[in-house]
Amino acid sequence: MTFELQETTIHGHRVAYRLAGMGPPIILIHGITASSRVWETVGPRLARKHTVLAPDLLGHGQSAKPRGDYSMGAFASGIRDLALSLDLGPATVVGHSLGGGVAMQFTYQFPERTQRLALVSSGGLGRRVHGFLRAATLPGSELVIPLLAGRQVLGAGRAVGRALGRAGVKLGNDALEMARGHASLGDPESRAAFVHTLRASVDVGGQRVQALDRLYLAQELPLLIVWGARDRIIPIDHGRRAHELVPGSRCEVFERAGHFPHLDEPDRFTVLLEDWIASTKPALPDPARFRAALRRDAA
């Protein structure tokens, strides 16, 4: 089944996305410096039973990189608008890394469009995050990133990778995806979008936008948490803590995976997601219950 990149225009900006399949909708949201390409393996498999939408967030992939709002709320609104333009109904929303934070924001802003929530090595569940991302928020990082993403540095990195491959050393998906992310910052527009996106949710102290204080609102929503035990970008403790805070949630740890469990073990990930969807009932919008939860928290 094809999962090819397509394009549309929303609010005057180019938005790239992948769409395939027929059935209950699933929205797949990638992380920072990534794109819908990270879902190329699992997307077509899920599309055998579902309608699968995987957008390139603004500032990422083949979507436009305007000077604008790169907050979680803006990303969530953009996905809502894309889904509406494609006539996609309420969906199971799956977010990886930064995309997990966007998925939670989408659920908070548009509960009527969210049937289930799956968080994969998600941001927004604690402060700790890789030191490179913290450092990239510092003043002047815009001057350093071009050097790190320069042609000579990237060429040297690829040469090292090829040499390791000839020596029988296989680079993991974490290293490969970080290298691809680095390479995606080769032009000024991409670098600016990266810095704006990062600074909207991270500072030198770590992640500053968190959803832990609002997870109680998700107690009526089927929640799946997936993490790689070898994740060095965002610690697995964040996922375990979120699981504890939401009764009835499900937490699956991929022992051999890093920050990209859907790439490290795509077969297992696909089966897990399909089984979880089949075994849970989609959430129904209930403003009265939402209002009651807010009032209980205020009491």
Q: Is the pLDDT of residue 296 over 60?
A: yes
Distance separating alpha carbons of residues 226 and 238, to the nearest angstrom: 11
Active-site annotation holder among 35, 36, 63, 97: 97
Q: What is the mean pLDDT of residues 4-18?
A: 98
Condensed to tens digits (0 to 9), the pLDDT of residues 49-99 reads 999 999 999 999 999 999 999 999 999 999 999 999 999 999 999 999 999
Q: What is the pLDDT of residue 231?
A: 94
% of the chain with per-residue pLDDT over 90:
63
Condensed to tens digits (0 to 9), the pLDDT of residues 129-156 reads 887 787 777 775 564 565 454 444 334 3
* Packed helices 188-199 and 141-148: angle between N→C axes, nearest 10 degrees: 130
Q: What is the pLDDT of residue 146?
A: 57
Q: Is the pLDDT of residue 162 over 80?
A: no
Higher pLDDT, 168 or 175: 175
Q: Is the pLDDT of residue 123 over 60?
A: yes
Q: What is the mean pLDDT of residues 195-223?
A: 86
Q: What is the pLDDT of residue 131?
A: 77
Taking the whole predicted model, whether its pTM rises above 0.85 is answered as: yes
Q: Is 50 a catalytic residue?
A: no
Q: Is 259 a catalytic residue?
A: yes
Q: Is 11 a catalytic residue?
A: no
Question: Within the chain, which residue ranges are assigned CATH 3.40.50.1820?
Answer: 5-128+208-298
Q: What is the mean pLDDT of residues 220-237?
A: 95
Q: What is the pLDDT of residue 77?
A: 98
Which of 29-33, 113-117, 221-225, 286-290 shows the lowest per-residue confidence on average (mean pLDDT)? 286-290
Q: Is the pLDDT of residue 3 over 60?
A: yes
| Average pLDDT of the residues of the chain | 87
Q: What is the pLDDT of residue 298?
A: 66
Q: What is the pLDDT of residue 142?
A: 61
Read off the pLDDT band of 211 (50, 70, 90): confident
Higher pLDDT, 144 or 194: 194
Condensed to tens digits (0 to 9), the pLDDT of residues 276-286 reads 999 999 998 77
Tell me which architecture the domain covering 5-128+208-298 has in CATH.
Answer: 3-Layer(aba) Sandwich (3.40)
Active-site annotation holder among 231, 238, 262, 264: 231
Contacts with 10 (C-beta within 8 Å, 6 or more apart), sequence order: 78, 81, 82, 85
The answer to whether 18 touches 56, Cβ cutoff 8 Å, is no
